[in-house]
Copies of this chain bind each other. A is one copy, B any other.
Amino acid sequence: MTVDPTSAIQYAHANYEEALTELQELVSIPSISTNPVHKEDMLKAARWLENKLTSLGFNAKVFKTEKHPIVFAEYHFSETAPTVLVYGHYDVQPPDPLDLWETGPFSPEIRGEHLFGRGASDMKGQIIASIKAIESLLKHDKLNINVKFMIEGEEEIGSPSLKKFLIENKELLAADVALNPDTGMISADTPTITLGLRGVAHFELRIYGPDRDLHSGMFGGVVHNPAQVLCDVLSGMHNEDGSVALPSFYDRVRKLSEDEKAELSRLPMNDNTYINQTGVPKLWGEPQFNAIERIGARPTLEINGIYSGYIGEGSKTIIPSYSMGKVSLRLVPDQDPEEVRHQIIEYLESTIPDTVTWEIKGPRGAPASIVDRNLPATIALKNALETVWGVPPVYKLEGGSVPVVASMEQILGIKSVLTGFGLPGDNIHSPNEKLHLPTWKNGIDTLIHFFINMTNIETE
């Protein structure tokens, strides 16, 4: 059975403005998962999605969790048709530093070809694109498969509630394959399928010295400065060559095959691409790997934030009473987050001197994952991208992390196909996050073709 996409594509184009309005509605909800003051906003965003999917004829429901709710919705077409589970997350990163935003992070504004706002690209735009593709098919009775949505609210904080939800709802979530539109494109004219994702781990370290800030003259030289200890400890986590200095950290790191290196070398990116995207004077990192290999295939350790003592105007000659550091790591196949957790603790226990005391939150983490390029759904996605863009997609190893991909395979036995319509310059996790609307529009068309192509795959 083949399905003609024409009418659905026409509907999508005719209703583009409406789609944009709905996206702006969703972006205007400050669903910041990491900050407890936004608990109500999280529920508001979940309800918005529940109502939208219900209006399309889905059986939608908001599931409570220990932190933020998960939206599940199901459209049943037939027992024999394949089932696609669409994954999404409605939570966003904190917008600070706020003063660097040209317009409010939650007051979405269209300027030129872009929609500006926190979450526009990561990933409320991707969720709306998926929903509008489905809507376009439904309006013309062209959705001949079963579709489920699972949209969580804790992706930006490591999905603490998701595993429990997957374990408790295996039947509800049963599907042939998962579509995950949470990764990006290399450029507006280079459709991209992500075959690899880095895992992640993060922790917060606090080092405690004197019971109060001390006069640096009266006590300097006898009290170990907690800011100094923090710098020593964090500095010691990297080697001279930029590699991570945790014990046994590279033991399980999978080596890049010549084929993989060749595939990566086809990507239209080089050092200058990254220099232009970041404005740094010069790139940095392990010299024996090029930039694309370091991002896609090498683990990294990043300091996300540090604080100690007096950081206001002028000087204050003190020994701070404590210091704090936030660190995240990106993991690659076949690193085990649990092993990495032990490597971090082992390093801290052997490094932090007994002149101070310390405590750690985490580390918590998720493993990296690899997607099969010969999966029927991967091929359906490849053909959909090629139909819309006129060129075959490139395959990339993503530096970012989507822990849910590994969890869904481990717990549900469901493989994921990964794409998305955000661009490297979208400033996700940064001020002035934006979405390139022409690309986003192509994304809606692509997903229409993808769901139609899925009609014909063989179900297991």
Contact = CB atoms under 8 A, between A and B. Distances in A.
A157 B314 contact: yes
Nearest to A197: B217
Task: Indicate the size class of the contact surface on chain A.
Answer: 35 or more
B274 A355 contact: no
Interface stretch (A80-88, A219-227, A408-416, A442-450): A219-227
A323 interface: yes
Given A278-B214, A354-B281, A221 B34 contact: no
A198 interface: yes
Interface of A: 33-36, 93-94, 96-97, 100, 157-158, 198, 200, 202, 204, 209-225, 227-228, 230-232, 234-236, 238, 242, 271, 274, 277-286, 291, 294-295, 298, 300, 302-320, 323-324, 326, 328, 330, 353-357, 398-401, 424, 427-432
Give how many copies assemble into the complex. 2
B34 A211 contact: no
A294 B221 contact: yes
Given A278-B214, A429-B215, A316 B320 contact: no
A211 B279 contact: yes
Given A227-B304, A230-B231, 13 more contacts: A35-B314, A198-B217, A200-B317, A212-B279, A213-B429, A219-B399, A220-B330, A222-B271, A223-B278, A305-B316, A306-B323, A307-B307, A311-B326
Contacts of A324: 311
Nearest to A307: B311
A155 B304 CA distance: 36
13 contacts: A202-B317, A204-B315, A216-B302, A218-B400, A221-B242, A222-B294, A224-B282, A227-B303, A228-B235, A228-B302, A305-B318, A306-B306, A315-B326
